[in-house]
């Protein structure tokens, strides 16, 4: 193998240090690859090939166990926990008393009375104390490797040497990675943020670099790309997945008692100062909050149990006001923004490719108007190299959510020069590839078969 693309020789705080990757960044207290194989190639990978990303690595897996663990999660989540099979996962959405999303994240039922949550704030731990429930809360630092794209199944089959076609969407399975100590517990899950076929490998943090490199080497034949944080949120925008901390603000950050609890807990992400950018002024946090219905997750709300914020969520279910759509930005207006950078006087806020602003450091919110009426909020804007379009997710009044509706985005920061950019409501999600749940694996050759063919030559 060419030395410029060889195996990782060292690690940068548990992230592989490859000779051909030169840009790493500290993201909310953990080191991550900022740009791997180039943001354009990375953004094509989950449509045409496969990528590996460690964007969520170094976060905590929070385990809730004990006789009242299920009751805790039921009382803090809009989802129904009835008939939840052991060894499967759910995307739990957790609201505050007002019905705003305080926290959300993938949660696995490990046993009858034990649940593990990833990529989340300790919201349920905080509520367990307030509710006086008998729940044991533990945490450990873990790696989460995301392998996504149509060839991701081949990469993982090559890595593991076994067929994984029977791992259904949201299933979880323990696996053994060749070359990694068999005593290290690693699990495979069919889940991801790419909007199409995707998997995650998860395990103890100190095994992160070794497993990452094993996946990368297994994926060489399949053209695997290493994605960085620079590109990561493009897939959220294309795939229609509003993410807290990047595309909207979790209401937990507006709860002083929770923030005090989280500080004692050692929650790193809440110790960083978020900038409130965009034409929605920084004093307006409320416009950056979202309800489940506003991000199109209202279908998850089941009123077969009592939960925090139920009254507000149930009232909205009866009369929803807004929903999330994709906005496609007008090319000529976008070019005007670029042109202003070369003209005298105050320029418009510039675009950074492929995402503006570079989340998760900013909670961006631009006003969406029709005429002079404020009708919605547009989040970070992504340049889709695959579609050659500027796209953003916008929470907008339902009567204006039909495809083809024309609106205006007020682009820029409050108090600065504002550019009115025309935009059109488009399909949601914008990515028009088969979803992870519906992906037909029979269309992809076996990674094991390809390995056998390769070894026979």
pTM: 0.93
The residue with greater pLDDT, 30 or 159, is 159
pLDDT at 3: 41
What distance in Å separates the CA atoms of residue 326 and residue 73, rounded to the nearest whole number? 31
- Whether residue 452 is predicted with pLDDT greater than 60 in this model: the reply is no
- Whether residue 316 is predicted with pLDDT greater than 80 in this model: the reply is yes
Buried b (16+ CB within 10 A) or exposed e, 187-215: bbbbbbbbbbbbbbbbbebebbbbbbbbb
Mean pLDDT for the stretch of residues 22-47: 90
What distance in Å separates the CA atoms of residue 286 and residue 17, rounded to the nearest whole number? 41
pLDDT at 93: 98
What is the token pair recorded at 216? 């990368």
Cβ atoms of 153 and 447 within 8 Å: the answer is yes
- DSSP for 419-450, please give it: EEEEEEEE-SS---S--TTT--GGGS--HHHH
pLDDT in tens, 224-256: 999 999 999 999 999 999 988 778 999 998 999
pLDDT in tens, 263-282: 888 776 665 667 899 999 99
What is the token pair recorded at 246? 């990047």
Tell me phi and psi for residue 308, to 5 degrees: -60, 120
pLDDT in tens, 49-70: 999 999 888 889 999 999 999 9
Cβ atoms of 376 and 397 within 8 Å: the answer is yes
DSSP letter (8 states) at residue 296: T
The answer to whether the bond into 334 is cis (omega within 30° of 0) is no
Mean pLDDT for the stretch of residues 423-430: 97
What is the token pair recorded at 50? 């496969």
Query: pLDDT-based confidence at 2, cuts 50/70/90?
Result: very low
pLDDT in tens, 402-418: 999 999 999 999 999 99
pLDDT at 356: 94
Residue (of 363, 354, 392) closest to 376 by Cα position: 392
Could you confirm whether domain 276-288+321-426 is CATH 3.40.50.620? no
Query: pLDDT-based confidence at 7, cuts 50/70/90?
Result: low
Mean pLDDT for the stretch of residues 202-225: 95
Tell me phi and psi for residue 313, to 5 degrees: -65, -40
Q: Is 441 exposed, middle or buried (0-12, 13-18, 19+ CB in 10 A)?
A: middle
pLDDT at 360: 62
What distance in Å separates the CA atoms of residue 402 and residue 268, rounded to the nearest whole number? 40
What is the token pair recorded at 218? 């297994």
> Which CATH code for domain 3-60+140-239?
3.30.1360.120
Polymer length of the chain: 457
- CA 448-452-457 angle, to 5 degrees, is 150
Which ranges of 219-323 would DSSP assign to H, the alpha helix? 229-239, 256-265, 310-318
Q: How many CB atoms lie within 10 A of CB 362?
A: 16
Query: pLDDT-based confidence at 456, cuts 50/70/90?
Result: very low
Beta bridge partners of 390: 383
pLDDT at 32: 87
Torsion, CA 313, CA 316, CA 320, CA 322, rounded to 10: -60
pLDDT at 271: 59
pLDDT at 392: 97
pLDDT at 123: 96
pLDDT in tens, 341-383: 999 999 999 999 999 998 666 789 999 999 999 999 999 999 9
pLDDT in tens, 125-167: 999 999 999 999 999 999 999 999 999 999 999 999 999 999 9
What is the token pair recorded at 305? 């149990």
What distance in Å separates the CA atoms of residue 450 and residue 457, rounded to the nearest whole number? 11
pLDDT at 56: 85
DSSP letter (8 states) at residue 165: T
Residue (of 161, 146, 123) closest to 33 by Cα position: 146
Cβ atoms of 362 and 274 within 8 Å: the answer is yes
Contacts made by residues 23-26, CB under 8 angstroms, sequence distance 24+: 23/228, 25/228, 25/229
Average pLDDT along the chain: 92
Map out the domains of the chain as residue ranges: 3-60+140-239, 276-288+321-426
What is the token pair recorded at 237? 């925008």
pLDDT in tens, 71-128: 999 999 999 999 999 999 999 999 999 999 999 999 999 999 999 999 899 999 999 9
**CA dist 407 → 1, 52, 132, 283 (Å):** 52, 36, 48, 24
């Amino acid at each position: 193998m060419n030395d410029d693309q060889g195996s990782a020789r060292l690690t940068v705080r548990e992230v592989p240090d490859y000779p051909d990757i030169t840009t790493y960044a500290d993201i909310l207290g953990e080191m991550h690859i900022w740009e791997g194989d180039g943001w354009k190639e990375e953004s094509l990978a989950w449509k045409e090939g496969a990528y590996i990303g460690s964007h969520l690595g170094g976060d905590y897996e929070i385990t809730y166990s004990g006789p009242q663990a299920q009751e805790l999660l039921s009382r803090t989540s809009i989802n129904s926990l009835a008939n939840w099979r052991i060894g499967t996962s759910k995307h739990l959405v957790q609201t505050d008393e007002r019905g705003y999303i305080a926290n959300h994240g993938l949660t696995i039922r490990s046993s009858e009375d034990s649940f593990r949550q990833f990529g989340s704030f300790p919201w349920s731990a905080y509520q367990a104390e307030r509710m006086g429930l008998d729940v044991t809360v533990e945490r450990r630092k873990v790696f989460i490797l995301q392998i996504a794209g149509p060839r991701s199944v081949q990469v993982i089959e090559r890595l593991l040497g076994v067929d994984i076609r029977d791992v259904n969407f949201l299933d979880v399975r323990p696996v053994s990675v060749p070359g990694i100590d068999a005593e290290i517990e690693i699990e495979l899950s069919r889940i991801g943020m790419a909007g199409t076929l995707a998997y995650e490998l998860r395990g103890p943090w100190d095994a992160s670099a070794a497993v990452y490199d094993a996946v990368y080497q297994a994926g060489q034949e399949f053209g695997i790309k290493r994605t960085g944080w620079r590109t990561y949120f493009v897939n959220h925008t294309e795939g229609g997945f509003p993410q807290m901390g990047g595309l909207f603000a979790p209401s937990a950050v507006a709860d002083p008692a929770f923030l005090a609890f989280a500080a004692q807990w050692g929650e790193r992400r809440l110790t960083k100062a978020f900038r409130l950018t965009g034409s929605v002024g920084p004093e307006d946090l409320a416009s950056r909050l979202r309800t489940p219905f506003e991000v199109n997750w209202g279908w998850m709300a089941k009123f077969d149990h009592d939960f925090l914020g139920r009254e507000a969520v149930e009232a909205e279910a009866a009369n929803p006001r807004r929903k999330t759509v994709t906005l496609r930005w007008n090319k000529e207006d976008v070019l005007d923004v670029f042109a202003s950078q070369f003209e005298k006087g105050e320029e418009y806020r510039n675009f950074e490719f492929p995402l503006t602003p570079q989340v998760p450091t900013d909670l961006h919110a631009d006003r969406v108007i029709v005429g002079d009426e404020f009708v919605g909020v547009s989040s970070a804007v992504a340049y889709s190299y695959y579609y050659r379009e500027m796209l953003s997710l916008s929470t907008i009044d339902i009567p204006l959510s039909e495809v083809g509706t024309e609106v205006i985005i007020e682009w820029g920061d409050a108090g600065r020069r504002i550019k009115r950019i025309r935009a059109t409501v488009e399909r949601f999600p914008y990515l028009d590839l088969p979803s992870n749940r519906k992906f037909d694996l029979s269309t992809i050759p076996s990674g094991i078969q390809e390995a056998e063919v390769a070894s026979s030559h």
